[in-house]
Amino acid sequence: MQLQPQHTLCIRGGHVFDPSQNLDAVMDIYIENERIVALGAAPQGFTANTTIDASGKKIFPGFIDLHSFLAEPGFTQKGSIASETQAAAQSGFTTVCCTPNTKPVIDSAAVASLIQEKAKQAGYCNVLTIGALTAGLEGEQLSNMSGLKEAGCVALSNLELPFKDSHVIKQCYNYAAGFDIIAMVTPIDSALAHGGCMHEGPASTQMGLAGVPVSAETSALAQHLILCEETGVRLHISRISSARSLEMIIAAQDKGLPVTADVALGNLVFTDEDCRGYNSLMHVSPVYRSEHDRQALLAGVNSGHLAICSNHLPQDLASKMAPFSASETGINSLNNFTQVLLSLVQKGELNLNAAIKAVTQLPAKVLHKKLGSIALEHRADLCIVDETASHNVSISTQASKGANNPWNNQTLTGLVTCTINGGHIVHQI
């Protein structure tokens, strides 16, 4: 997809909603050369090449995803950078952080540059690469952190993959702190997880499936927080799943540690009870936990302590056809992210201000980027949403190649009618 130059753009009559600027009013937006040049009244002499009527719709800052697997290179049967970023754009995302578990792994400048180039060619989203914290994500040798930072990686991560030992983690954090690059980690003690495939609780016991106890997350998290305090690394805890982890993160923040965190959208929607019936679409990592945990995570978003990521991991049909524990983990969440997020608002489980802040302002702060804001002279990343429009979800018509969409054949409310990335219209219906 080739971007068509949009020199000047006017969005008329939309309800602008931006927590970072305390904007909550109907006003016009004027864009010139990829920047927002005025809000409300047009600048003197401004003539729009393109005008969009946003009457009756909300205008949000472009969404930012901190954790998305784009499948390319190496897994083209599951998706491509073009297909998955198109799905992201259709959900209002303008910036997507690409996880390092590609094939080859993003542990060299060459792979990072390849992904960034393919993303530019696709033209849907601004793709930021997350480099591997250890070589090959194998948890033993440190990656070339300075080279990855120079190649544009915004953070380094080992995902939920194990480290050889705690000494390796400390080395990683010392070097990451030295290069002033964010370390992202999904805490899991693999020995305590012991091959579990869902939350350890009544449901796993009754289903006869190995469970992952909360302690598998919290014990590992405690170690990472201790090492963060010792090394001073900027630490982002990715995709927490439990109430106890949230308590620990808030305590660390209150102590002054440079710690941020996010939660996957699915963990705000589903619980381990949704795994009953051995529905492999509910086989994800991190696992869905109890209703108590879900409510605590929702409260964490509402209080401003948690950003929300997609945890998007597209899978082909065959990957989910196996029995629950043998199926591949993953959820296709980009395609219907906005409708699902707004459904939580409509149910009263999230307030709109916190929900939008969690996908705009908070991720921008994590990345130390001037994004996620409808402010003068800022990059014009926006999405326009019709909150009342309904949409019938169908895998056959979705942009993502992922067959693992748990909302397939459902009718959802709320539709992104237009996404603008750097002043360019990349999605419009």
One digit per residue, the tens of pLDDT, for the chain of length 429 reads: 444 445 799 999 999 999 999 999 999 999 998 999 999 999 998 999 999 999 999 999 999 999 999 999 999 999 999 999 999 999 999 999 999 999 999 999 999 999 999 999 999 999 999 999 999 999 999 999 999 999 999 999 999 999 999 999 999 999 999 999 999 999 999 999 999 999 999 999 999 999 999 999 999 999 999 999 999 999 999 999 999 999 999 999 999 999 999 999 999 999 999 999 999 999 999 999 999 999 999 999 999 999 999 999 999 999 999 999 999 999 999 999 999 999 999 999 999 999 999 999 999 999 999 999 999 999 999 999 999 999 899 998 999 999 999 999 999 999 999 999 999 999 999
* Residues of the domain holding 47: 8-59+378-428
Distance CA 366, CA 234 (A): 9
Tally of CB atoms within 10 A around 410: 14
335: Cβ–Cβ under 8 A, 6 or more apart, which residues?
87, 90, 91, 393, 398, 399, 400, 402, 405
Residues 264 and 194 in one domain: yes
Residues 269 and 328 in one domain: yes
Residues 35 and 111 in one domain: no
Single out the residue in 348, 367, 386 at which a domain terminates: 367
pTM, full prediction: 0.95
Residues 266 and 407 in one domain: no
Q: Residue 213's closest CA among 272, 269, 263, 273?
A: 272
Instruction: Return the bridge partners of 61, or none.
Output: 382
Residues 161 and 310 in one domain: yes
CATH number, residue 154: 3.20.20.140
Q: Residue 96's closest CA among 266, 309, 301, 307?
A: 309
Distance CA 270, CA 282 (A): 8
In a domain, 14, yes or no: yes
Q: Residue 98's closest CA among 304, 309, 308?
A: 309
Residues 228 and 123 in one domain: yes
